[in-house]
Amino acid sequence: MSETTRKFFDALERHGHERVLKKTNGTIRFDLEHDQEVDHWFVEIRGGAVRVSQRDGDADAVIRTDRAFFDRMVRGEAKPLPAWIRNEITSEGKFRFIVLLERLFAPPPGARHPRDLVRDRGGRG
């Protein structure tokens, strides 16, 4: 099991409620492929609170990708929605949970606060 993946799901259980809206409810199962195996991660969101387990159960959305690509999304190096459009991740179920992924992963490395950009340029760009 990838260390990046495990750390991500640990942190998601503890801090997920800070990223998803209070009214969010539903289940997502991640099927992460590697070396002819599939790891399952089952994420349950109730009233914005997140619980994570490794059971292989039915979910509102099932998201399948390979583990290395999943880790790139975790690190913010790749984005879920364009990846879904080019079939780097595939899905079954409710599309809104693919959109929800956008809230869960880290920002891209090197992303700037708009104010810092303006300050670095010394005023209006």
Partner 1 sequence: MKTDLVRILDGNIFVLSDGSGDLEAKPTVPCGFYSYDTRFLSLWRLTLNGERLSPLARDDPSYFEVRFFLVPGEPTHYVDAKVSVIRERSVAGSFEEQLTVLNHSREPAEITVHVEADSDFMPLIVAAQGRTPKGRLYRRVENGRLHLGYQRDAFRRETVISSTTEPAQVDERGLTYQIRIEPHGQWTTTLHVRGLVLRPDGEDVREHLHPGRRRRDRFRLERNLQQWLGTAPQLNCDWEPLERTYRQCLVDLAALGYSPLTLPAEALPAAGLPWSATLAGREPIFASLQALPFAPDLARAALHMLGIDQGAVLDDFRDEEPGKILREFRYGELVAFEERPQAPYYGAADVTPLYVVLLDEYERWTGDADTVREFEDEARAALHWIDEYGDIMGDGYVWYQRRNEQTGLENQCWKESRGFLWSLGVAPAAIPAELHAQAGLYRSILAERRMLILLDNCRDWDQIRHLLPGTGGSLVIATSRRRITGVAGQAGAHPLHLDLLTHAEARELLTRRLGDEAAADPAAVDEIIARCGRLPLALALVATRSVGRPGLSLPAVAGELAEADGRLAGFGDTHADLEAIFSWSYRALTPEQPGSSGCCPCTRAGS
CB of 60 to partner 1, least distance (A): 9
53 binds partner 1 (CB under 8 A): no
Number of residues engaging partner 1 in binding (CB under 8 A): 37
Closer CB to partner 1, residue 3 or residue 85? Answer: 85
Residue 9 φ then ψ, to 5°:
-70, -35
H-assigned helices in the chain: 3-19, 67-74, 80-85, 96-104, 114-120
CB of 23 to partner 1, least distance (A): 7
CB atoms within 10 A of CB 57: 10
SS3 124: coil
By CB under 8 A, name the binding residues for partner 1: 19, 21-23, 76, 79, 81-82, 85-88, 90-96, 99-100, 102-103, 105-108, 110-115, 117-118, 124-125
